[in-house]
Chains A and B, each alone.
Chain A
Amino acid sequence: MAAINRDDVAHLARLAHIEMSAEELDRMAGELAVIVDSVKSVSEAAGDDVPATSHPIPLNNVFREDVVGHTFTAEQALSGAPDSFEGRFKVPAILDED
């Protein structure tokens, strides 16, 4: 059984900006452990002769030529924004300026 404890879940929830109740943290700790174990079975199927892959299709070097294509107008870009001001997206102030 994979070792996913409640603190791990709370940490992940915070990184993912997901608010979770105490009960949810408890329940998810158990469920995530099962999920991780299930995914782990893939490594049993793949032997040492199978290289790790991040992509199911054996493709590489899919490139685009450096030619300008379409753009949105500022109005189009902002059309789905909850709030905007002077052609820019307006977002709540974030103190961390990194």
Chain B
Amino acid sequence: MSTDAILSFEEAMEKYDPVLGFEVHVELNTKTKMFSSAPNVFGDEPNTNVNEVDLGMPGVLPVLNKTAVESSIKIGLALNCKIAEYCRFARKNYFYPDTPKNFQTSQYDEPIAYDGYLDIELSDGTVFRVEIERAHMEEDAGKLTHMGGATGRIQGADYSLVDYNRSGVPLVEIVTKPIEGAGSRAPELAKAYVAAVREIVKNLGVSDAKMERGNVRCDANVSLRPHGRERFGIRSETKNVNSLRAVEHAVRYEIQRHAAVLDSGQPVIQETRHWHEDTRTTTSGRAKSDADDYRYFPEPDLVPVLASREWVEELRATLPEPPAARRKRLQADWGYSDLEFRDVVNAGVMDSIEETIAAGASASVARKWWMGEIVGRAKTADVDPSELGVTSETIVELNKLVESGKINNKMASQVLDGVLAGEGTPAEIVEKRGLAVVSDDGPLLEAIDAALAAQPDVAEKIRGGKLQAIGAIVGGVMKATRGQADAARVRELILERLGVEG
């Protein structure tokens, strides 16, 4: 695979002004599909959540899922869009085995929602308005697995396998207007925008919003133009950008790549790019060509959707608290300082903390675990904290073990490592690793006597009333017991031993 030249991000920013655009696909979590009554469920056996409509059999008729329409209107409203009083579906014609019909049922020139905006708050509190062009209803395609060649698991094979379970799953595609003026904050804005959309659809309850499952998928358009020029440059569209971090990295990479292309005097090619998480680079997909001539036409098998103003207002009345307002409320409920709360939000663990609190932890305990233990591990593992695999139940159990004095904080951290290594539940790991705090005074007293004997001058100071010197003895005992002692109990015993009042 050839590697594209890139400029440093700083140099690219000095020379060029980025313009972004996003198409975010949101899978709705309706019980059934957009046009058929087959179940909309992730992860089932291939080709078991399908019926004749999903398989595009001859003579079948699609029937629109009312809940999916309502969810789409809710998304439009949450994105501050106008809701079309009248809209239709259209056929997008193309040949590819991910759709057995040879067309995707979508909307073309009559989206259900249009002309909206979303105010995006960046990490330092700057608010950036992203204009929404449209949000339209469509159906998802089947899932292809390419077999054979160099990477397939069947040697010499050269084919694709198709699972149509995802075929017909309701989608809402949200398209932004060109986003100008983000400058060097473009990568950060990209991530924050997709995060905001994900947060909104999750908050609305209309999507499971799990990016790792493809519930929210982002295509990122990037173009560069020299500073001061109004006309947009030629854009690339990067697909497969399926985590928040990847969105940020992909935009950053494409800016660097475009800058190098432009610097060399070549034109940027308008094309699809594929994002590769492993190398954090993109590769050329295919150039835009008349393969993109989709010959849209109004879907004759579906009648128009009329969204009466009464219906729209009924739906508006059901909208939950918007995420920005929710953040304000959660911060007040949890009693975090502005700085603490912003750190929590920026680390992407607000929802996780909310879940952990709901599972029974206090606000400070939840924050201590997520910010103190999990965020760092996630960074090391290079995944989002919520994707590390720590459940709220694990945290609550760990905290109970600490509060009951069974283990100390240091051990709890080791137990968490054990949980992540798949060694079992916290209680099982405490057992297996023999991590319980030493509470039998016998071995502790032995260690204390040894520590005192080793540092007679310190012992003398403590006897003389210099209690702050006790740390050295406690440290010696903790070392001797490999951290398995309860430090508070050790301190008590040392004072008893020396006959000093604590």
A64 CA to B38 CA, complexed, in Å: 12
Q: Does residue B45 face the partner (Cβ distance < 8 Å to A)? A: yes
Q: Does B450 contact A (CB under 8 A)?
A: no
Interface of B is mostly: mixed
Question: Would you call B160 an interface residue if the criterion is a C-beta within 8 Å of the partner chain's C-beta atoms?
Answer: yes
By the criterion CB–CB under 8 Å, are B97 and A91 in contact?
Answer: yes
A9 to B68, CA, bound (A): 39
Report Cα–Cα, A86/B147, bound state, in Å: 12
Q: Given the complex, which residues of A lie within 8 Å of B93, measured CB to CB? A: 15
* Binary contact readout A70-98 vs B (1 if CB under 8 angstroms, 0 otherwise): 11111001100000011111111110111
* Residues of B295-330 whose CB lies within 8 A of A: 295, 297-300, 302-306
Complex Cα distance, B65 from A61, in Å, reads 10
Q: Is A19 an interface residue (CB 8 A)?
A: no
Please give me the residue from chain B that is nearest to A89 by CB atom. Answer: B162
Chain A, residues 1-45, CB within 8 Å of chain B (1/0): the string is 000000000010001010000000000000000000000000000
Q: Contact flags (1/0) for B67-79 with A, using CB distance below 8 Å?
A: 1110000000000
Interface string of B30-71 (1 = CB under 8 A from A): 111000111100000111111110010000000111111100
How far, in whole Å, are A49 and B66 apart by their CA atoms in the complex?
31
Q: Determine whether the beta carbon of B48 is less than 8 Å from that of A71.
A: yes
Is A59 in the interface zone, CB < 8 Å from B?
Answer: yes
- The docked-state distance in angstroms from the alpha carbon of A76 to that of B492 is 74
A50 at the interface (CB under 8 A from B): no
Name the one of A69, A71, A74 contacting B46, with C-beta atoms under 8 angstroms: A74
What's the Cα separation between A85 and B159 when bound, in Å? 10
A64 to B49, CA, bound (A): 18
Cβ of A98 and Cβ of B298 under 8 Å apart? no
What's the least CB distance linking A56 to chain B, in Å? Answer: 9
Give chain A nearest CB distance to B474 CB in angstroms.
Answer: 61
Question: Is A68 engaged at the interface, CB distance under 8 Å to the other chain?
Answer: yes
Q: Which of B285-293, B381-389, B424-432, B436-444 contacts A (4 or more CB under 8 A)?
A: B285-293
Which A residues touch B48, using CB under 8 A?
71-74, 77, 87
Which of B68, B295, B303 lies in contact with A60, CB distance below 8 A? B303
Q: Out of B49, B67, B161, B295, name the residue touching A71 (CB < 8 Å).
A: B49
Q: Tell me the bound Cα distance from A93 to B96 in angstroms.
A: 11
Q: Once the chains bind, are A85 and B95 in contact (CB under 8 Å)?
A: no
Interface centre among B30, B46, B272 (most CB of A within 10 A): B46
Choose among A61, A68, A77 the residue that contacts B32 (Cβ–Cβ < 8 A).
A68
Q: Give the nearest-CB partner of B102 in chain A.
A: A17
| A interface bracket (residues with beta carbon within 8 Å of B) | 35 or more
A54 touches B46 (CB 8 A): no
- Please determine whether B37 and A89 come into contact, CB atoms closer than 8 angstroms: no
B145-204 interface with A by 8 A CB criterion: 145-149, 158-164
Q: Is B274 an interface residue (CB 8 A)?
A: yes
Which residue of chain B lies nearest to A85 when distances are taken between CB atoms in the complex?
B161
Q: A66-B66, A74-B46, A86-B46 are in contact. Are A97 and B274 (CB under 8 A)?
A: yes
Q: State the CA gap A81–B341 with chains docked (Å).
A: 55
Chain B residues with CB under 8 Å of A94's CB are 96-97, 160
A9 CB to nearest chain B CB (Å): 14
Chain B residues contacting A15 (CB-CB under 8 Å) are 93, 290, 293, 295
- In the complex, whether A46 has a CB less than 8 A from a CB of chain B is no
A89 to B99, CA, bound (A): 12
Measured CB to CB, the closest approach of chain B to A59, in angstroms, equals: 4
When distances are taken between beta carbons in the complex, the residues of chain B under 8 Å from A98 are 96, 239, 272, 285-286
B88 contacts partner chain A, Cβ-Cβ < 8 Å: yes
Contact of B50 among A72, A90, A91 (CB under 8 A): A72
Q: Are B50's CB and A54's CB within 8 A?
A: no
Chain A residues with Cβ under 8 A from B297's Cβ?
Answer: 54
In contact, A61 and B306 (Cβ under 8 angstroms): yes
Return B25 CB to nearest CB of chain A, in Å: 14
B162 and A65 form a contact (CB under 8 A): no
| Bound-complex Cα distance A54 to B66 (A) | 21
If A77-B55, A93-B148 touch, whether A62 touches B64 (CB-CB below 8 Å) is yes
**Nearest chain A CB to B214 CB, angstrom units:** 15
**Complex-state Cα separation, A62 to B45, whole angstroms:** 31
Shortest CB distance A15–B (Å): 6
A43 to nearest B CB, angstroms?
Answer: 16
- Asked whether B163 lies within 8 Å of A55 as measured between CB atoms, the reply is no
Q: Which residues of A contact B239 (CB under 8 A)?
A: 98
The reply to whether A63 and B161 form a contact with Cβ atoms under 8 Å apart is no
* Chain B residues with CB under 8 A of A17: 95
Contact status B45-A89, CB under 8 Å: no
Q: Complex: how many Å from CA A54 to CA B38?
A: 27
The 4 residue pairs across chains A and B that have the minimum distance between CB atoms: A69-B37, A54-B298, A63-B66, A66-B67
A interface residues (Cβ-Cβ under 8 A, vs B): 11, 15, 17, 54-55, 57, 59-74, 77-78, 85-94, 96-98
New contact pairs (20) apart from A90-B160, A91-B160, CB-CB < 8 Å: A15-B293, A54-B297, A55-B300, A60-B303, A60-B306, A62-B63, A63-B65, A63-B69, A65-B66, A66-B31, A67-B32, A68-B32, A69-B32, A73-B48, A77-B47, A88-B163, A89-B97, A89-B162, A96-B285, A96-B286
Q: Which residues on B are within 8 Å of A, measured CB to CB?
A: 30-32, 36-39, 45-52, 55, 63-69, 86, 88, 93, 95-97, 145-149, 158-164, 239, 272, 274, 285-286, 290-291, 293, 295, 297-300, 302-306
